[in-house]
Amino acid sequence: MGQDKHIIQVWNEVLAILKGTVKEPTFSTWILPLEPQYYDENCFVLHTGQAIAASILRKSNYNQMFDAVKQVTGKDLEVKIIVDEELVKKVAKKQRTGSLLFNDEKDPAKLKYDSLTQMQSSNLNLKYKFENFVVGSNNKLAYVAAQTVAQKPGEKYNPLYIYGGPGLGKTHIMQAIGHYIIKNRPDLKVLFISAEEFVNDVVNALARGDEKTKKMNKFRKKYREVDVLLIDDIQLIAGKTRTEEEVFNTFNTLHGAGKQIVITSDRTPKEIPSLSDRLISRFEWGLMADIQVPDIETRMAILFNLAKDTNIDVPKNIIEFLSATYANNIRELEGAFNRVTAYASINDMPLTIDNVKKIINYNEKEKSYTFDGIVDKVAEYYNISPKEIKGTGRSARVSEARQVSIYLCRELTKQSLPVIGEFFEKKHTTILYAYDKIKEELVLNRTLSRTVEDIINQVCK
């Protein structure tokens, strides 16, 4: 039996009750995405696209869900949560782009859920707010600038350009701006979009056919009739001529009208290969704020907050261990925390260092590799000095040794490219080029392949 208006109405009333009894992170992460299917005299059936949702909710919130369903339906119904493969695919897609179910946060007593399929046009992810963004020395400038923009959109720092390595919180702080504005300025229209999605919209609008003009007009209306435009990973438009043109014209239209533009990227505008000069100049008009790798205190604070929000008791030594292990990517850090706590809960396993190592497949040897140790072995192999590898010499031998060093630093330590760039004192784009070049040549160049293999054997001794 499929969804109908009645089941939607019943589930919305259940959600309104649960909103007041279940902690916010649990509610938004595990309960809100559930989709009701039907209910009869025996059970109330819900589908989920998150494989571990059923196990988590049965352990921690089943009684609250049972009571809420009984309160609305007047019946003692078994609550069944079933994993649906089609929803699993949808969830994966939404995690890449972000989505927000509409609600009225100004009046919690009058929460509205018009339907489970009605998405707020802003396209935001419910969990990315200022309230759960941990501020440290690595992101303070971006945080202060984001709050300024959120409080006075279009008046200062326009555009706001936030850049930094992957998984450091750029998307979080950008979407926090959108949430703040939606809550405090509901008269303003906010739109969050990934650059990849923007590119796809351009391609679809330019597709041949009788509807071409109509589709292009619809495309331009979508992006140019907003008050706040948030574009994530702008580096992905580089070299795509028509997309760059649409970004340029959209930027001019919005900026000229005093509308706020916020952009994120993994590098500064000038470091984006093939990006047109006119876009570089416009992206630099406002404020450029970087987000760096967080220190261990900030990483620990992130996990302590996550534990508190999800009401999970995690020993301090586990938080310290995870914070030390995942030093360069907040997304990986939080993912490891969620994986560890979920696995331990489902399997009724105590949170010990040994158990955590098993869950995350921790490799003691892998963690012992250092940049200096790798560079020393490469220098020894090529019969040059480590100083030459980290220097600016451009001879063929030194250049190859440097690129091999960069490749091995990435492969053996799993450190992020920005961190490797800091060690070699090179731009992120230079590091990326070196890594990609060696990776591609290893497929075709047997001599280089043997060289790299020999060095790895030396490093692993």
Q: What is the pLDDT of residue 1?
A: 40
Task: Name 230's bridge partners.
Answer: 192, 262
Question: Of the given ranges (120-124, 211-215, 250-254), which has the lowest mean pLDDT?
Answer: 120-124
Q: Do residues 392 and 424 lie in contact, with contact meaning Cβ atoms separated by under 8 Å? A: no
Tokens 């041949």 sit on residue: 208
Q: Do residues 294 and 288 lie in contact, with contact meaning Cβ atoms separated by under 8 Å? A: no
Read off φ and ψ for residue 159, nearest 5 degrees.
-80, 160
Q: What is the pLDDT of residue 101?
A: 36
Averaged confidence pLDDT in the chain: 83
Q: Do residues 263 and 162 lie in contact, with contact meaning Cβ atoms separated by under 8 Å? A: yes
Q: What is the pLDDT of residue 405?
A: 95
What is the dotted CATH code of the domain comprising 296-359? 1.10.8
Distance CA(101)–CA(113), nearest Å, equals 8
Q: What is the pLDDT of residue 157?
A: 94
Q: Do residues 123 and 191 lie in contact, with contact meaning Cβ atoms separated by under 8 Å? A: yes
Q: What is the pLDDT of residue 366?
A: 53
Over 90: is that where the pLDDT of 16 sits? no
User: Would you state the structure tokens that stand for residue 451, as one six-digit string?
Assistant: 């060289």
- Per-residue pLDDT band for 161 (boundaries 50, 70, 90) equals very high
Segments making up each domain of the chain, as ranges:
5-94, 130-291, 296-359, 367-459
The dihedral of CA 228, 230, 235, 237: what is its sign? negative
Span 406-434, mean pLDDT? 86
pLDDT digits (tens, 9 = 90+) for 325-379: 887 778 888 888 988 988 888 888 888 999 999 888 887 655 567 788 899 999 9
Distance CA(446)–CA(284), nearest Å, equals 44
Q: What is the pLDDT of residue 347?
A: 82
Q: What is the pLDDT of residue 345?
A: 80
Residue 6 carries which side chain, given as an amino acid letter? Answer: H
Distance CA(59)–CA(67), nearest Å, equals 15
Over 50: is that where the pLDDT of 34 sits? yes
pLDDT digits (tens, 9 = 90+) for 268-321: 899 888 899 999 999 999 999 988 878 888 889 999 988 887 788 899 999 998
Q: What is the pLDDT of residue 108?
A: 36
- Per-residue pLDDT band for 230 (boundaries 50, 70, 90) equals very high
Span 75-83, mean pLDDT? 87
pLDDT digits (tens, 9 = 90+) for 394-416: 899 999 999 999 999 988 877 77
Alpha helices (H) along 74-211: 85-97, 140-151, 170-184, 195-206
* Chain-centroid distance, C-alpha 342: 20
Span 427-445, mean pLDDT? 88
**0.85 exceeded by pTM:** no
Over 60: is that where the pLDDT of 222 sits? yes
Distance CA(390)–CA(387), nearest Å, equals 5
The topology (CATH level 3) of 5-94 is GMP Synthetase; Chain A, domain 3 (3.30.300)
Span 439-459, mean pLDDT? 86
The more confident residue out of 245 and 98 is: 245
Residue 319 carries which side chain, given as an amino acid letter? Answer: I
Over 60: is that where the pLDDT of 261 sits? yes
Residue 191: strand, helix, or coil:
strand
Looking at domain 130-291, its CATH class is alpha beta
Over 90: is that where the pLDDT of 244 sits? yes
Q: Do residues 309 and 25 lie in contact, with contact meaning Cβ atoms separated by under 8 Å? A: yes
User: Would you state the structure tokens that stand for residue 3, as one six-digit string?
Assistant: 């969804």
- Per-residue pLDDT band for 149 (boundaries 50, 70, 90) equals very high
Q: Do residues 153 and 257 lie in contact, with contact meaning Cβ atoms separated by under 8 Å? A: no
Q: Do residues 400 and 445 lie in contact, with contact meaning Cβ atoms separated by under 8 Å? A: no
Architecture in CATH of 367-459: Orthogonal Bundle (1.10)
Residue 36 carries which side chain, given as an amino acid letter? Answer: P
The dihedral of CA 50, 56, 61, 67: what is its sign? positive
The more confident residue out of 311 and 431 is: 431
